[in-house]
Amino acid sequence: MSDRNELQGRHIVLGLTGGIACYKSAELVRLLTKAGATVQVIMTEAAEAFITPVTMQALSGRLVYTSQWDARAANNMPHINLGREADAILIAPASADFLAKLATGRADELLSLTCLARPRESAALLVAPAMNREMWSHPATQRNIATLQADGTVVLGPGCGDQACGETGDGRMLEPEALRDALVAHFQPKVLTGRTVLVTAGPTFEPIDPVRGITNHSSGKMGFAIARAAQEAGADVTLVAGPVHLPTPAGVRRIDVMTAQQMYDVVLPAAAVHEVFIATAAVADWRPASQSDQKIKKEGKKVAPTFELTENPDILAAVAALPRPPYCVGFAAESEHLLMHAQAKLQRKRIPLIIGNLGPATFGRDDNSLLVVDAQSHHPLPADGSQADKLSLARLLMQELADRLARLPA
């Protein structure tokens, strides 16, 4: 993620409860403020055993609150004032005890009071659980989590891995970067709520022998950004990824493939049960007609080996030709005459929308500019034709997609 001010103008109340994961909260404050947010820290007495208010004050640039009896507020009601000012309250770490307190509505100190008194229509409550794996899996904790979710609380994590107690399992607080991204995602417009979206991303790799193959320069970054943006917009997202080394976007279901045929075999049945198909992957048009079982050696050979090529299945055209196809969005990565080639591909594939971009200028990069093309018109994204980072472009594209879906006949 770049240094975009994605939380500019947002005021976040960050609550810390008792747990060793408090050390991560210091970095979380730094990341939130770097993203443009103002952060007001509230700490429980137990949290102060792990990290000091002085540290959190230095990082947030604001006085830290620790007591409901804090007299700095003119009305002596910090639990009311702090919640009214917040765009969201994030509890990180959220201990098992504090989750139980929230689930039952107990409010015997400042942080729980603030959560209970917050205006629910304007200040969402998000919790990042952090505890031992046995505490997390305990039926009481799971009941409390279910209650909180039913009440509208957003539960972030927990993660799985090594724990301070020496055990390994579920219960780790998510890393600060993941929590920042989750908070950013929370504020994105939910324009695709209830939609199911299938995305392909990255290149394919067509083997010649066990160590060589035909591929391309696609990094998969645009497709992964689209999958993330669709999930942020409220969609249920499945991502079919070629051979790339990119982290799976939070909340996205991922299926890894290698070849075009493997991608075809996964996508065709999946497309039939999705409302939208976004074909971002740079699929190889051809593959070797046969693959050598052993590495092709060059020792003593004066002439390079030759091999016959055969055409790969056309995934996008096959999906568009289904009896009840999803809304299909194609991508055209061209090297010249972008509009002409994009319009030709739109007609050839028989799809309603295609996104054009100049492949050699964007493969592997973090920014891009797009051309949105349908049968009647075309326009750039961003609207001024400038470059933008791929996640910002993906979010613009999700709004574009939502507007077009809304205009479809019922």
**Catalytic center residues:** 165
Beta bridge partners of 368: 388
Q: Are 123 and 216 in contact (CB under 8 A)?
A: no
For 210, the 3-state DSSP assignment is coil
- The helix (H) or strand (E) run that includes residue 124 is strand 124-129
Burial class (CB in 10 A: 0-12, 13-18, 19+), 47: buried
Which of 353, 349, 350 is CA-nearest to residue 408? Answer: 353
What is the C-alpha separation between 151 and 47, in angstroms, rounded? 25
C-alpha span between 7 and 10 (Å, rounded): 5
Terminal-residue alpha carbon distance, the chain: 37
CA distances (Å), origin 4, targets 1, 28, 375, 410: 8, 16, 34, 38
The pairing of beta strand 370-373 with beta strand 353-358: antiparallel
The answer to whether 183 and 126 are in contact (CB under 8 A) is yes
The C-alpha angle with vertex 284 and arms to 282 and 287, in degrees rounded to 5, equals 165
Residue 256 class from Cβ within 10 Å (0-12 exposed, 13-18 middle, 19+ buried)? middle
Degrees to nearest 5, angle at CA 273 with 268 and 276: 85
Residue 221, number of CB atoms within 10 A of its CB: 24
